[in-house]
Structure 1
């Protein structure tokens, strides 16, 4: 595999129901990871993008969270229907998709 141009980290943290921080896993991260994988193949980007399931990325209340490098762009509250916008705007056009970028306050 060639060196990827982008790394996409999808939080797949799973915590027990009722945990005070919640989890991206409880917010559909498993389906989100699968959808990203399918859409990257459909866009013929599987050789340019590394897709990785991760543990907690930090701002759990904003999940499901997706982090894209380079740039360290954190997308929050991501649903499967958001994946094509991230791919077409960020990965293909090179401009982060502003609609779901986490504001700095989410880290506080």
Structure 2
């Protein structure tokens, strides 16, 4: 695999039901990861973009969380309908989707 220009990490951390911190896994992270991988495939971005399922990225109660490098942009509360916009506007277009980014005090 060539060195990716962009690396997207999607938290897939799971915790027991009722855990006070919650988890991205319980908030639908697997679906977000799958959809992101499908968008990368559909747009033939395999050599430019790597998608990696990870453990905890921090703000568990705000999940699913998605972190994009370069730039260290943390997206919170990502919904399935946000995935194609993040790919189109940020990953391809280079402009973060500001209303989905974690606020400064959180990240």
Q: Shorter-normalised TM-score: what interval?
A: over 0.9
> Could you tell me which residue of structure 2 aligns to residue 75 of structure 1?
75
Question: Which whole-Å CA distance do the structure 2 matches of 1:85 and 1:98 have between them?
Answer: 11
Which runs of 5 or more residues in structure 1 are unaligned?
Answer: none
Which runs of 5 or more residues in structure 2 are unaligned?
Answer: none
Runs of 4+ more than 3 Å apart:
none
Alignment of 1:4-15 (within 5 A): 4-15=4-15
- For these two proteins, the number of residue pairs brought into alignment is 107
SS at match of 1:44: coil
TM-score of the superposed pair, with normalisation by structure 2: 0.96
> Could you tell me which residue of structure 2 aligns to residue 31 of structure 1?
31
Coordinate RMSD, CA, aligned: 0.9
Question: Which whole-Å CA distance do the structure 2 matches of 1:57 and 1:68 have between them?
Answer: 12
TM-score of the superposed pair, with normalisation by structure 1: 0.95
Please tell me whether the aligned partners of residues 10 and 51 of structure 1 are also in contact (alpha carbons under 8 angstroms): yes
Please tell me whether the aligned partners of residues 24 and 64 of structure 1 are also in contact (alpha carbons under 8 angstroms): yes
Q: Does 1:41 align with 2:41?
A: yes
Please tell me whether the aligned partners of residues 27 and 63 of structure 1 are also in contact (alpha carbons under 8 angstroms): yes
